[in-house]
Amino acid sequence: MYEVDRIRDGRSFTTRRTVAVQHGRAIFALATSFQVPEQGLEHAEPMPEVPAPEQLDDLATWVRRTGATHLPIARIPLPFNLRYVTPPVWARCPDAGLLASGERVQPNQRDQLWMRVDGTLPDDALVHVCVLAYASDLTLLGSVTARHGRDLDQDVVAGSLDHAMWFHRPFRADDWVLYDCASPSAFGGRGLAIGRFFSQDGRLIATVVQEGLVRLRG
């Protein structure tokens, strides 16, 4: 059951608070803000220089080459086409991090990948917002463990504690978007991750911040 409170109804902005209740207990809380389109100042950080998605292997090809077929990301069907720019921790082996051309990509302290929905979505802008919000949680905490060479699936117990997202510009989730993720801090069993989504033509379309539980196993 979803309980929705009308927090604010203004001329330009509308705010809602939603609580999801299951078996009589609140399991999820969401605050959303909506704005009517208007003109204003405009600037944005530039997109990082990365290989185009057409130059990179898709996830299925990468999994086969790195022998990672036993990992959850290889077994769970995903509605997205994922193409990693920087090798994820589980793929950092001598044969990983290669472009389709054979050129080696050097790992760094950022997690970067291209993604898009498999198939075509309707033209409803809210559908694309919802899809990108879902996708934003797939790999973000991996940027915390990647800085320590830890595998998010095998080395740690992890989960989202809070998740905030800002949508800056119109986009389509069935076109390629670059997800650029980094972790500025981790301490006390928690890690902070910041992600930025860019359209393929270089526009900053969304920013994500997540704090998560990152607890070492054992």
Q: Which residues are catalytic?
A: 137, 160, 210
> What are the b/e assignments for 122-158, b being 16+ CB within 10 Å?
eeeeeebbebbeebbeebbbbbbbbbeebbbbebbeb
Three-class SS of residue 78?
coil
Tokens of residue 39, six digits: 């003109």
Strand ranges (E), the chain? 2-9, 13-22, 25-35, 80-84, 111-117, 156-167, 177-187, 190-199, 204-216
d(CA 135, CA 175): 13
d(CA 79, CA 173): 11
d(CA 183, CA 205): 20
Contact indicator for 82, 60 with CB cutoff of 8 Å: no
